[in-house]
Amino acid sequence: MKHPSPHIISEGGVQFELGGLRGNCIEYDFKKMLIYLEAKGKLLFGKKFKIYRKDYEVLYKLCNYQIKDWSTCKRLGIDPKKGLLLSGPVGCGKTSLMKLLRCMTPHYPTYEIIPARNISFGFNHIGYSIIVQYGDHSFYCFDDLGIEPTGRFFGKDCNVLGEILLSRHELFLSHRVKTHATTNLNAQELEERYGNRVRSRMREMFNLISFDAESKDKRK
């Protein structure tokens, strides 16, 4: 389905113009994107939702990645061909932002957000077929990566998300299939959780964007 004006989005009877057209190109306005994200956030998560000024730096990177502003991404050291690994403390807003980000670009393929723990629990019930299931060409964002329990099927343990990430890496190399993830863990903790082999491939697959380690828990 084509979107003749993808920069104009209607929510709750209100139109949000995220930028303007110049020829066939959309020139996005970061301030207007912030207004939309806060309004959409209130619709999705309740009236208490707020975009915090201290998060503008992270949001600027995420927004430019999502709209594929190649020149700005290059300046920021971001590769739009890779996925996102959004890291930060518990409650800083990672999952909410990943849910919101995909709403800004209705003309782009979207991604499904899947809690990593649900995948691990699924492995316990149906076994290795779940690794095959998430090794397909769909776009996913694995939420809370690294804190999921180890999978166990018929008495055998499996680092389920580690195996899935290896499969997703192969898809990334062969078909440029992107994977996103959120995590509370830092690089060292991820390596301890998944091993150096997976961590090395994650560097190839992901742009790492991080909240400040002192970001407060917005759910309190």
pTM score? 0.94
pLDDT digits (tens, 9 = 90+) for 103-123: 999 989 999 999 999 999 999
Q: What's the pLDDT score for residue 120?
A: 97
Q: Is the Cα dihedral 162, 198, 87, 140 positive or negative?
A: negative
Task: Please name the CATH architecture into which domain 8-210 falls.
Answer: 3-Layer(aba) Sandwich (3.40)
Q: What's the pLDDT score for residue 4?
A: 66
Q: What's the pLDDT score for residue 22?
A: 85
pLDDT digits (tens, 9 = 90+) for 56-92: 999 999 999 999 999 999 999 999 999 999 999 999 9
* Distance from C-alpha of 93 to C-alpha of 80, rounded to nearest angstrom: 22
- Nearest to 159, CA basis, from 198, 200, 112, 208: 198
Q: On the CB side of 8, how many CA atoms lie within 13 Å of its CA?
A: 8
For the chain, domain boundaries: 8-210
pLDDT in tens, the chain (220 residues): 456 688 999 998 899 999 998 888 899 999 999 999 999 999 999 999 999 999 999 999 999 999 999 999 999 999 999 999 999 999 999 999 999 999 999 989 999 999 999 999 999 999 999 999 998 999 999 999 999 999 999 999 999 999 999 999 999 999 999 999 999 999 899 999 999 999 999 999 999 999 998 888 888 7
